[in-house]
A and B are shown apart, each in its own frame.
Chain A
Amino acid sequence: MSPGDIVSTIVNEFPYALYGSMLVGVAAAFLGVFIVARRVVFFGAVLTQVSVLGLTATFLPFFALPHTVGSLVVTLFAVVILSQLLTGKDVPRDAILGVVFVIAIAARILIMQKAPKVEAAEVESLLRGDILFVTPDLFWLMAGAFVVAMLLHGLFAKEFTFINFDAETARTQGYNAGMWNLIFYLNAGMIIAFATHMVGDLFVFGFLVVPPVAASLLAKRVRTIFAVSVLIGLISPPIGLFFAFLWDFPASPTIVGVASVILLGAYLLRLVRRR
């Protein structure tokens, strides 16, 4: 296929794959700035795995919910539990996250082995998040979640900023840091659950980390970091889809690869600037 044919195929035959991956790219890249700034990148990794566990669990007869609902329920439940566990000082935070990470993967493998309804190809497709087969329903669900997330961040920008920067002082000013953290993580959990179902754990985790890191290398102001991160989240998916079609690669890894190339470019640019 010529480049023109590839673009035409993507736009005309896989519009939801294109717009859906761009939507997830933007949402994850935006939330990722906070996740990287809070030094809870591993939290993002854990939530994507928990979200995958929720998807897999819907194959169990007693948890036969729609995949998206199952993923959302399990992810939000994990957020609430983790928000309690992570405030304690008996076990290091990383260790708690590591335990949940491992349990989520182990439970997923066990469920896949024993769940009666499981068909290997269907599960594989769900877990990898087959971008090309994003449905309109899933796309609009994700769009709704994105609007809710952005509204929350718009309305409570001050609160999230203050808690993120200096939770101790924010508490002295009457802010309930625990509550605002929970709202932030529930919001992130909602996006991660829908996005993981839509495009898979690699894509979501990749875009929670790679664009924010690249943006922090390129930009010097907080607002610019958000803008650059979102821009990388927006442009990487169409470029990645193009190359996936061109070279017959799987879509998610190619898209994450494009974002990573941008990250490498940002790093090199920073090195040049410093000289």
Chain B
Amino acid sequence: MTPYIIFENTTLGYGSKVILRDLTFTIEEGDYFGIVGPNGAGKTTILRAILGVLKPLAGRVQFQSRTGEPLRIGYVPQRDTIDDVLPYTVDEVVMMGRYRTLGMFRHPSATDRSAVAKSLDHVGMGDLAGHIFKDLSGGQKQRVLIARALAGDPTVLVLDEPTNGMDLPSRYSILDLTRRLHDQDGLTVIIVSHLLDDVANHASRIAIVEQSFFQVGTVSEVLTGRNLSDLYGLPVGVETIQGRTIILAGGTNVSR
């Protein structure tokens, strides 16, 4: 597998303030990579470096692809960072995903409109193309934002807290969609979440982030009771029930 994103002795921070020091890891083609950790641990800082909007204070972050073309990263932000005062329609929002390929001074063509329709169909939102984005439910908005990222024809899909504040069915449905995009479409997926269960049952590799603790590996290597107890400062148990990983704050006490 081709390494897509390579962190080499990378120190990240803002101005003179160091948030994370000396990170070395790679995200490879075909990964479903989870970044987890408590709030304020530096997950967003790593995310910003992956997105190329935060330059490292030391070391480097390298991007490469199999074809030699620049890596195309599709970003799905947290829903609440979007200020939807104006009533943009769903297809207008998804069209924003085509702006990079359109370039300056050009208006969307039939090809762009077709790409938008295809992306919406792909996430099961084709019927809502003309609806107002801000009137949608949280789960529907999330799907539209995923469609917007897909409209740019990405090689890597980055999702920031995609299931935050969602009810169980919406949460399951969004995670199922990301799984499908990974398994069927071959997209490399990077998901940032503080919800350990979500990441534990979908990611193939995980990075646990804390300012004094950073570890990368497979789910079974990294998500151990000891690691999580150290990370959160309370007893945390990790159990597997019917093939699913369950994280238990307060220790292991499962009725089977």
Contact = CB atoms under 8 A, between A and B. Distances in A.
Contacts of A171: 51, 53
Contact of A172 (B73, B82, B93, B102): B73
Given A166-B82, A168-B77, A222-B92, 14 more contacts: A37-B86, A38-B83, A38-B85, A158-B102, A162-B96, A164-B83, A165-B83, A165-B86, A165-B96, A171-B51, A172-B51, A173-B99, A221-B87, A225-B86
Nearest to A155: B105
B interface, how many residues as a size bin? 20 to 34
Given A165-B93, A166-B81, A172-B52, A222 B99 contact: no
A222 B87 contact: yes
A215 to B, nearest CB: 11
Interface residues of A, number: 26
Contact of A39 (B51, B85, B99, B148): B85
B81 A168 contact: yes
A275 interface: no
A158 B82 contact: no
A161 interface: yes
A187 B254 CA distance: 63
Nearest to B53: A171
Interface string A213-251: 000100011100100000000000000000000000000
Contacts of B102: 158
Interface of A: 33, 36-39, 155-156, 158-159, 161-162, 164-166, 168-174, 216, 220-222, 225
Interface string B21-63: 0000000000000000000000000000001110000000000
Interface string B65-95: 0000000010101000111111111001100
Contact of A36 (B82, B84, B85): B85
B77 A166 contact: yes
A220 B132 contact: yes
A165 B99 contact: no
Contacts of A159: 99, 104
B152 interface: yes
Contacts of B96: 158, 161-162, 165-166, 169-170
18 contacts: A37-B83, A38-B85, A39-B85, A158-B96, A159-B104, A161-B96, A162-B96, A164-B86, A165-B82, A165-B96, A168-B81, A169-B77, A171-B51, A172-B51, A174-B100, A221-B132, A222-B87, A222-B92
Given A165-B96, A168-B81, A225 B51 contact: no
B133 to A, nearest CB: 9
A51 B39 CA distance: 44
A170 B51 CA distance: 11
A225 B132 CA distance: 13
